[in-house]
Amino acid sequence: MTAPSKPRPPAFDPDDVNESNFTSYPEMHRAANQTRYNRRLGNHAGLKNFGVNLTRIIPGGQSSFRHAHSRQDEFVFVIEGEVVLETNSGAQVLTAGMCAGFPAGTGDAHRFINRTTRDVKLLVIGDRTADDEISYPDVDMRAVLGPDGVYKFTTKAGDPL
């Protein structure tokens, strides 16, 4: 049996994509959200219309603050581990092979929490629709996607963060 060869573009090994726990959240909200690590697979592939992230959440970590998008859809597939999905209707446990979808504009705020002792891996897919707004019901924060493709964060009242 021969060893597999290194894939040629457009194929690639996700492990070759840098993993980062960077978050664009304002400083006061960063620490709680640096317990998850993303490999930005869609960016690596040059995708423009939607994003694809391989997200690893360490034990005790969360994917983000609970949030809902006004214009962007999200889809999450659990690749490995057991994770708690929190939405407006409560919490439920998802295991490898399960998935969840979050249509834009529903206001159903969601996040994923790792309450186990092992890492969780998620495949997260979302579109990049312009003029998106993100609401965060559990923290005093909101975000608006600017024309430059960068989210601008404010308090719920609109004050800069």
The answer to whether residue 71 is domain-embedded is yes
Higher-confidence position of 157 and 3: 157
- For 131-153, how does the pLDDT look when each residue is reduced to its tens digit (9 = 90+)? 999 999 999 999 999 998 899 99
The answer to whether residue 109 is domain-embedded is yes
The answer to whether residue 7 is domain-embedded is no
Its domain, for residue 90, covers 24-130
Q: How many domains does the chain have?
A: 1
* Among candidate residues 121, 78, 74, the one with its CA nearest the CA of residue 98: 78
The answer to whether residue 69 is domain-embedded is yes
Check: CB of residue 133 under 8 Å from CB of residue 113. Answer: no
- For 44-63, how does the pLDDT look when each residue is reduced to its tens digit (9 = 90+)? 999 999 999 999 999 999 99
Give the Cα separation of 3 and 135 in Å (integer). 48
The model carries a pTM of 0.93
